[in-house]
């Protein structure tokens, strides 16, 4: 298929887990009514984005949020990029993104590789590593449209990760994210345009809406950039649902006309993923 209809849900999420799921359900229904093929949700939608509270609302892989997302995808016959949730696995907590196919089957799981530990003078202080464990896998999955890559927020600052996804066939990369009022104005659009133009892919960054009553103030501005580095769409800070038709043939045209991926000097340098198995201490 040459065209995909992508819906971005920049949701304003408050209250209990049930209230958050109710809001997501209503917005996903609206997206499905607009014939979206793929619906995308923001980072950490199942609770507040606060490192000291992640353990409070973390859920196991097949817990209530996972089941909710799977059922939504199946009910509306859509691909659903379920943003990310705080995922509990034994004594560890991950920032984990799930994707479900049209039948509700899990198509991809990505645990955030790079944890957001920053101390910006006069700006943001945040340490995800106080609560979270980093993942260790590069995530690419197949759809009837194209191969897609998946990463989370701070992962977008690492160009090596995007190139690894592209080397595994990705033509569209999904990024549930929650940049803040320090990093958002400075780097949000810049990063998404740069990752798109460097790798000749579509980049889809989906943020929560800005909630000034919350402890963490998201930048919002959910964005789509195309393989030429152009901004196809960018929202403001408020809650919004937007559906876009993306021409996937543009990826092939750009790569044929400006074949930078083919022009790499593999005789001088190369990038490769290091395969590793997770190890746990003996009980």
Residue 172 has, within 13 A of its CA and on its CB side, a CA count of 26
Query: Residue 28 CA to chain centroid, in angstroms?
Result: 16
User: What is the per-residue burial (b if ≥16 Cβ within 10 Å, else e) of 86-117?
Assistant: bbbeeeebbbbbbbbbbebebbbbbbbbbbbe
**The one catalytic residue among 112, 128, 171, 203:** 112
Rounded CA-CA distance 94/113 in Å is: 9
Taking a C-beta distance cutoff of 8 angstroms, is the pair 83, 206 a contact? yes
Residue 87 tokens read as 């995922």
The residue whose two tokens read 């980093």 is 134
Q: Is 105 a catalytic residue?
A: no
Residue 149 has, within 13 A of its CA and on its CB side, a CA count of 31
Check residue 180 and report its DSSP letter: B
Residue 125 has, within 13 A of its CA and on its CB side, a CA count of 3
**Greatest alpha-carbon span in the chain:** 56
Which residues, at least 6 apart from 56, have a Cβ–Cβ distance to it below 8 Å? Answer: 47
Q: Is 43 a catalytic residue?
A: yes
**The one catalytic residue among 146, 151, 153, 203:** 153
Q: Is 146 a catalytic residue?
A: no
Rounded CA-CA distance 65/73 in Å is: 12
Q: How far apart are the first and last CA of the chain?
A: 49
The residue whose two tokens read 């957001």 is 116
- Residues with a catalytic annotation lie at 43, 112, 153
């Amino acid at each position: 298929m040459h065209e995909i209809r992508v819906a971005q849900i920049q949701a304003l999420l408050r209250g209990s887990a049930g209230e958050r799921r109710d809001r997501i359900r209503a917005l996903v229904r609206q997206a499905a009514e607009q014939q979206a093929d793929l619906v995308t949700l923001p980072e950490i939608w199942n609770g507040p984005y606060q490192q000291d509270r992640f353990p409070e609302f973390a859920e196991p892989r097949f817990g209530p949020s996972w089941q909710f997302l799977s059922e939504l995808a199946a009910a509306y016959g859509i691909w659903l990029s379920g943003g990310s949730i705080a995922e509990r696995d034994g004594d560890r907590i991950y920032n984990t993104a799930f994707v479900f196919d049209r039948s509700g089957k899990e198509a991809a799981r990505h645990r955030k590789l790079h944890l957001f530990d920053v101390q910006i003078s006069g700006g943001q202080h945040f340490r995800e590593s106080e609560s979270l464990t980093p993942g260790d896998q590069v995530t690419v999955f197949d759809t009837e449209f194209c191969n897609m890559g998946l990463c989370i927020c701070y992962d977008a600052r690492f160009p090596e990760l995007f190139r690894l996804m592209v080397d595994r066939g990705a033509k569209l990369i999904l990024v549930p994210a929650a940049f803040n009022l320090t990093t958002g104005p400075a780097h949000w659009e810049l990063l998404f345009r740069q990752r798109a133009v460097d790798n000749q892919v579509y980049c889809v960054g989906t943020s929560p809406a800005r909630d000034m009553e919350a402890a963490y103030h998201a930048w919002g501005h959910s964005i789509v950039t195309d393989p030429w580095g152009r901004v196809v769409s960018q929202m403001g800070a408020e809650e919004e649902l937007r559906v876009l038709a993306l021409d996937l043939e543009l990826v092939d045209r750009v790569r044929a006309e400006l074949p930078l991926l083919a022009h790499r000097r593999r005789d001088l340098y190369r990038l490769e993923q290091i395969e590793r198995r997770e190890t746990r201490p003996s009980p």
